[in-house]
Structures are given as structure tokens and as C-alpha cells.
Amino acid sequence: MRSFQCVLMLLLASNALIGPAPMSADEGASPNVVVIFCDDLGYGDLGCFGHPTIRTPHLDQMAAEGQKWTEFYVAASVCSPSRAALQTGRYPIRNGMCSMKRRVLFPDSTGGLPPSEVTLGRMLKNRGYATHAIGKWHLGHLPKFLPTQHGYDSYFGIPYSNDMDFVKGSSKRRFEDPESKNFNVPLMQGNKIIERPADQTTITKRFTGRACALIRQHKEDQPFFIYLAHNLPHVPLFRSSEFENVSRRGLYGDVIEEIDWSVGQVLGTLRETGLDKSTLVVFTSDNGPWKSFKQQGGSAGLLRDGKGSTWEGGMREPTVFWWPGTIPSGVVMEMGSTLDLLPTLGSLANAKVPDDRVLDGLDLSPTLLENKPSPRSQMIYYHGDEVFAVRQGMYKAHFKTKTSYQGQREAEVHDPPLLFHLGHDPGEQHDVAKIYPEVVKRLEGLKADHEATVEPIENQMTLR
């Protein structure tokens, strides 16, 4: 019988991480964890984050029962580095997983997340969890980089983006009216390709089915961690026949409404199995909407720009935490990041968090459990391997900007930097650098202090 009072008692006794304790007779100190990670979902794309024509009743309910975080960040505005940060709790500059030259991994890449890195899967497996990765990985497709070499017991998914391995000669309208056969993306089980091209019309349904089956499978035996990384709504957009033309928002809306259905299936399975009170579910995305695809891309709501940029729309994500009976419901306007998941889950699971390397993540559990202020007071915004902006408190300084993923060719340098107050001006419209020169100076110091902590390391993104 799992007791979650035990978790609370441990946390109240000490905010410090306790480990590396073996799984005790009382396994109650180890909640199950499901991280649902979307691809290119915009800040404004969910009903509970204000979208007027996309219906997301399951996510809306999840947010109402759980915590909706309005200032939650990823550590990069594109896929591979953002995923590296989520898995390791480290800015990708620390493990070679970011570059200005190649911003993500491609099918001809030979690099990946170094085996020396400790992932969420590895940390929780060491604690005795069953660990499963489902969906898009994008941290290296060669066998040594796949999830099963990074601490996951199983893997079912695609190793990189769903628009890669594009078949030459297929329709120029491949994104407007997509067909799976035009994208020769492999579907993998473990280290083996089991389907190619992957039938993308059923992929969300199949990822969901696998997640629900694993929840049932582990109901009695051991705590589990499921990393459910949907490869949508990244273009090309696909949905199953049941979701064709259901949304007022068109194809993009159909895709989001199927992801919302998937969330409902996962939460429903947790309720049916009686595991809802013993499972933390986190929902977020890897980066902002791919706006250059126009109606095929999402919306960052009132935030500026999207995928690929260090404006807020590229890196702030619609995020929900759900753990009925343990985390109080509400809207949290504190800062958090995917960087924080590793130390936070380590704390909640009483797992050993790596202490032999620089970690950029912080333990959010006091905020989640007790409404305490977030320990995170700053964010560093990387574009490739370069710091383009920093935030401290409500102020954000931009040293360089590059608008959208495929638009502006060269970054614009700002000297002095642009300065925005993200409380008064979340859309970053009104530069106040001239009014607050002392804040600009402080943020310049923060950038320099952070950069001094970075050590050179082999770049993985450019290897091929």
C-alpha cells in the first residue's frame, strides 16, 4: 500500500535530496510519474490557455484539478536541445547538444546524448522504477544513443522528427495535405525498426494505447515512469480517422483534440486502476509553435514569436501538473522549467540526483506541494550555443534576437540590450532599457556569470 503522507513527511523533514537509498519496504515514497511531452505546441493552443476554437476538455479538467503553470520554460526553442535539457536537467551547452550550425539532429547525424549523461529514465531506474519511453526521442538515432541505452526498459516510437526522411519527388503540398508515405520515418521498438514509413495517422492512438497498457501492467508490481513524447503537432500533421474534421481550428485543431483525447485516456486509466492518487502527471511541450507553417503551425497566444526564437513564444510552454490529493489545485505564476523535472522528480521519488556535474535544474517540489515560491528566479535563453537573452525576476534582457525559425537570416545585435518587464508586458512590446539602466547592468552580469560556468565539450549536433 503506497502512502503519500510518507512523501510529504520526507519533504517536510528536509528539502535536501536523499539518496541513493535502495527501494525500501515502504514503496510509498515513490509516486508513479507520467511526463506527456508534445512537439511544437504553442502557449496559446489549449482551451485552458485561452484558445477560442480548439476544444481540450481533458486538459482543461486536468488544469482545473491540478496546477496550471503560466511561466514554465524549456531550455531551447527547438527539439533536440530542448529534449536533452528535459532528460538531464542541464543546459544543452553542457553536453554538446546544441549548435548554431545544426540546431537539431538529422537522420545523417552520428552524434547524440552522451552515454555519460544521467537521464530521467536512468535516475528513476536506479531507484527501482519501471521506465518506458514512448514517442519521439530525437537525442540520437544510433543504437548507443537510444532510450534503452539511456535508462529506459523499453522504447516504442520514432527516433527523430516526423518530417525527416522526406521522400524525394513527393508532392510539393506534402505539408498541406500530408501522407505518411512521403515521410520515410521509422517506427522503432527497442533498437529495431518495426515499421517504415511509420503510419502517422494512427501514431497518437498507438502511443496512447501503449502508455495505458503499461499503466495497467505495472499497477501492482513496481512504481513506473512513462515518458510519453508525442511527435505532434510538429508538421506534417496527422490524426486518426475519428478526429478528421472535428475541430473548428481545422487540421491543426484536429491534431490537438486527439492529443487531448490521449490525455483523457491516460488520466482515465489512472483513475480506473486506482492509481490517480499515486501518480504525478506533467504535461508540456518541447518548444513553441512553428509559425512559418502558418495555419499548419500553432499559436503562442499573446506571447511574441514562436519555435526557433528566444522571444517568449519560442520557449514558454503551456504546462500542467496533476496529482490529485497531493498537489493543491490552482494557477501558479511562478517560474519553472523542464530543466527542473530531474531534481524535482528525484526529490519526489527519493532517487539519487547526480551530484558530480553542474545541474541547472532546481527542485520545484516545495512549490508543487506547498505553494511555496519557486526556487527558480532566472532563465538563460540559448539560441544554438549562444546566450541570446536572460531573465531574472520579471525582467528579461535580449542581447540578440532572431525572429522565427526560417525567417530572418542574421541575428540582430542589441547593444545596449532590449529590456522587457514580463509581468507588465508579457508580449515583449515595450522596451524599457532606457528607464532601468541598472537592471540592464545586472542582467549583463547574470549573462557573464552563467557563461563563466560553461566548459568546452565536444559538440554532438555537428557530427556526421
What residues line the site for Mg ion (CB under 5 A)? 39-40, 79, 286-287
**Bond from prior residue into 20 cis (ω within 30 degrees of 0):** yes
Residue of 51, 58, 132, 138 marked active site: 138
Q: Residue 188 Cβ, how far from Mg ion at the closest point, in Å?
A: 19
Comparing CB distances to Mg ion, the nearer of 68 and 234 is: 234
Q: Residue 39 Cβ, how far from Mg ion at the closest point, in Å?
A: 4
Give the number of C-alpha atoms closer than 13 A to the C-alpha of residue 292, restricted to the C-beta side.
10
Comparing CB distances to Mg ion, the nearer of 49 and 405 is: 405
416 dihedral zone (left: phi>0; alpha: psi -120 to 50; beta): beta
Q: Residue 290 Cβ, how far from Mg ion at the closest point, in Å?
A: 8
Concerning whether 138 is annotated as a catalytic residue, the answer is yes
In angstroms, what CA-CA distances link 98 with 79, 81, 187, 265? 10, 5, 25, 34
Residue nearest to Mg ion (CB): 79
Comparing CB distances to Mg ion, the nearer of 40 and 258 is: 40
CA 234/CA 421 separation, integer angstroms:
30
Comparing CB distances to Mg ion, the nearer of 61 and 292 is: 292
Q: Residue 439 Cβ, how far from Mg ion at the closest point, in Å?
A: 32
Residue of 38, 79, 98, 212 marked active site: 79
First to last CA, the chain: 50
Give the number of C-alpha atoms closer than 13 A to the C-alpha of residue 253, restricted to the C-beta side.
13
Q: Residue 79 Cβ, how far from Mg ion at the closest point, in Å?
A: 4
Q: How is 215-230 classified by DSSP, letter by letter? A: HHHTTTT--EEEEEE-
Q: How is 141-205 classified by DSSP, letter by letter? A: -SGGGSGGGTT-SEEEE-SS-TT-SBPTTS-TTTTTS--GGGB-PPEEETTEEEESS--GGGHHH
Comparing CB distances to Mg ion, the nearer of 204 and 287 is: 287
Query: Catalytic residues, which ones?
Result: 79, 138
